[in-house]
Amino acid sequence: MSHELRTPLTVLQGYLEMMDEQPLEGAVREKALHTMREQTQRMEGLVKQLLTLSKIEAAPTHLLNEKVDVPMMLRVVEREAQTLSQKKQTFTFEIDNGLKVSGNEDQLRSAISNLVYNAVNHTPEGTHITVRWQRVPHGAEFSVEDNGPGIAAEHIPRLTERFYRVDKARSRQTGGSGLGLAIVKHAVNHHESRLNIESTVGKGTRFSFVIPERLIAKNSD
């Protein structure tokens, strides 16, 4: 944790000391300001993710009484994913529009959005991403599947650890905090589920979780 905050703070401190010693002008000044803005945004994102994770961890697991309109939530996530992708990836969203659940809306939003945005941020241009929300024999399944490069088997057991990154350089480029999958894990655990990760190098990756039958809203079609 200290390392994650120390790195951007060190960059900011370095530029501030440089500005103290001599005025920066032109391209040098613009580069300094751009880098400082980036590092500030990185810290802001990290703090937000930490607060989200802490809130989920502290939440009572028995309070799953909100009716969550997952289809509506996914329509918003789809628009945001398209914007984030900037047409680098293509998408298919297969949504059962009548399938709603009882749960914690904020937690489910965090889980769903983190999985979709994770797919966008960690797959290369030309990847196809398929998002599904559907009935399965034991409940309601949410899944995000891509045909990207896949993840080596040795990384999979550690993916939900705080600050664990498969590709540290790519995470820095995309502003990843290393907390997204930890948030997903805790959010789905609170909904009596678990995060499943399947991946084959060279073929792609699939993240999924199943909300149990008892939490499906009674009037879901």
Encode pLDDT of 115-162 as tens digits. 999 999 999 999 999 999 999 999 999 999 999 999 999 999 999 887
* Alpha-carbon span 207 to 107, nearest angstrom: 17
Q: What is the CATH code for 66-215?
A: 3.30.565.10
* Three-state secondary structure call for residue 128: strand
Q: What is the CATH code for 2-58?
A: 1.10.287.130
Residue pair 127/55 in contact (Cβ under 8 Å)? The answer is no
Encode pLDDT of 23-67 as tens digits. 777 887 888 887 888 777 777 777 777 777 777 777 666 578 899
**Start and end residues for every CATH 3.30.565.10 domain found in the chain:** 66-215
How many Cα atoms within 13 Å fall on the side-chain side of residue 187? Answer: 25
- Please spell the DSSP secondary structure of 69-108, one letter per residue: -HHHHHHHHHHHHHHHHTTSSEEEEEE-TT--EEE-HHHH
pLDDT bracket for residue 4 (50, 70, 90): low
**Start and end residues for every CATH 1.10.287.130 domain found in the chain:** 2-58
